[in-house]
Amino acid sequence: MSSKKESESFWKEKLSNEAFHVLREKGTERPFTGKYNLHFEKGSYTCAACNSPLFTDNQKFDSGCGWPSFDDAIKDSIEYILDKSHGILRTEVVCSNCGGHLGHLFNDGPTETGQRFCVNSLSIDFKEKEE
């Protein structure tokens, strides 16, 4: 499993150009284009860079925002960083293992947690639940 100790050249070789832009350069994919936006299979979502578990299928919901949305994360899987870019205050979420940019956390979720992790599909992979 890769970690925060890896160089940017390591990530450049490992990731596609699009995934590198999102995960390492804090990019954002266009809304409604990601393969996990309307994906509701049983299993878990992992970091696309290092394969660390991040979210479970029961934490996912359809927010209508155009990106995969989760109302919680697996304990200790996410780091929270104050993001002052674009003239607004937001909370950036990154993989706690490799530091890969996942998206942002908003406090406008419709579930009990009140949270909406707005995540790029390019920053996650899916592992189907084994029966």
Q: What are the φ and ψ backbone dihedral angles of 82, each rounded to 5 degrees? A: -65, 125
| Distance, CA of 100 to CA of 21 (rounded, Å) | 10
User: What is the structure's pLDDT at 26?
Assistant: 95
**Residue 122 DSSP label:** G
Q: Which of these, 113, 115, 76, lies nearest to 94 by C-alpha position?
A: 76
**118 is annotated as an active-site residue:** yes
Domains belonging to the chain, first-starting first, are: 8-128 (2.170.150.20)
pTM of the model: 0.92
Q: Give pLDDT tens digits along the chain (131 positions).
A: 567 778 889 999 999 999 999 999 999 999 999 999 999 999 999 999 999 999 999 999 999 999 999 999 999 999 999 999 888 899 999 999 999 999 999 999 999 999 999 999 999 999 998 76
**Rounded CA gap, 102 and 119, in Å?**
5
